[in-house]
Amino acid sequence: MAGMRFSPEDSPEANQHLQLPQQQLQTGREVASDDDRSVAADSWSIKSDYGSTLDDEQRHADAAEALSSAANFRPASDYSSDKDEPDAETSMLGLQSYWDAAYLDELANFREHGHVGEIWFGTDVMDTVISWTKSLCTEVSQGHIPNHGGEPKPQSVEQDEKYLSCWSVLDIGTGNGLLLQELSKQGYNPRLCLFTDLTGTDYSEGAIDLARSLADRDGFSNIKFLVDDILETKLDRQFQLVMDKGTLDAIGLHPDGPIKRIMYWDSVSKLLAPGGILVITSCNHTKDELVQEVENFNQRNIAISQEPSATKDQETHRDHPPFRYLNHVRTYPTFMFGGSVGSRVATVAFLRN
């Protein structure tokens, strides 16, 4: 939903080596003005936000307890609270009021001018994510788990038809829904639409209204769009492919980001079917940082499974952690900074055990 902002006309490569300084943004505002949103977005070239305004005290308490009990399995800087970490980066972009107002503007622009709105991370990254994910799903469907040394190999159309026709897809924080539109288009041929079960969710009603309007205009009536918060999801089914392009980034910038990130992983682990794939695209974290966060989540679940009060479902994590690293995109442009080679975006896939 959120991430680096590019209009369809902008070239993402033009800014790939730039990171503008972070502007200190107020987090207590209930409503953001147009100028506030413009300044926030322009000053936030790498960061983005997708917060949640949960009132469920018990869920927060459970996550806080998990955060405390798992402290021995992660670096102190990973999930420390705002009080423990005075330099924690939060912003108004973590508030739902910001995104509600932003998508109302984009919906109005669509109705008046036909604009699709922002394309998070840019079109080139979106196209890379889709084509790479499609190849990865095909290999996994064939029983070929990619090794860590190479890219998934592109498959022929015939192979795609055979192995991808039954994949169900959930896009978390779907925003304007263009990721699912492009996934549907790339998986289409006159005989078969390969990814036929497509669902996009967002906690902003304005985002869902925009996504539905764009899908209706562009002829993608097969895509379902639902108002749903990943942190307190009401979805009662599982998906074989879950995609996240900027949502985890944003959750981490909420004032309660450390707790909400744990809630995120708990929810995603329930929504992703066994043997399914989670694909996360991030502009805030490297591949290694995402892998480490998943390992921290796995270790927390192992610790919980060893407690006397553990349920049968929790006990299964003792020998089978929820996730394992599968692969990552290696074709993004890189740059040198401080003697280290990096990329402005990372896409990493994890397999649900």
Rounded to an integer, the average pLDDT of 9-25 is: 37
Overall average pLDDT of the 121-135 stretch: 93
| 98 sits in which H/E element | helix 96-113
Ramachandran angles phi, psi of 36, nearest 5°:
-60, -45
Altogether, the residues listed in the chain come to a count of: 353
Give CA–CA dist 268/322, Å, rounded: 10
Of 264, 270, 312, nearest to 67 by C-alpha is 264
Give pLDDT, residue 348. 98
pLDDT (tens digit per residue) in 142-180: 877 776 545 666 555 455 555 666 789 999 999 999 999
Can you give the pLDDT at residue 305?
72
Which position has the higher pLDDT, 61 or 29?
A: 61
Residue 120: pLDDT band (50, 70, 90) is confident
Predicted pLDDT at 98: 84
pLDDT-wise least confident of 36-45, 317-326, 336-345:
36-45
Q: Residue 160 has what pLDDT?
A: 54
Least confident of 61-65, 66-70, 244-248: 66-70
Kindly list the domain boundaries of the chain, sorted by start residue.
Answer: 92-147+155-305+320-352
Domain 92-147+155-305+320-352 has CATH 3.40.50.150: yes
Across 28-32, 141-145, 178-182, 249-253, least confident range: 28-32
Confidence of residue 245 (pLDDT cuts 50, 70, 90): very high
pLDDT at 187 exceeding the cut of 70: no
- Paired sense of beta strands 272-282 and 197-202, if any: unpaired
By C-alpha distance, which of 344, 348, 353 is closest to 291? 348
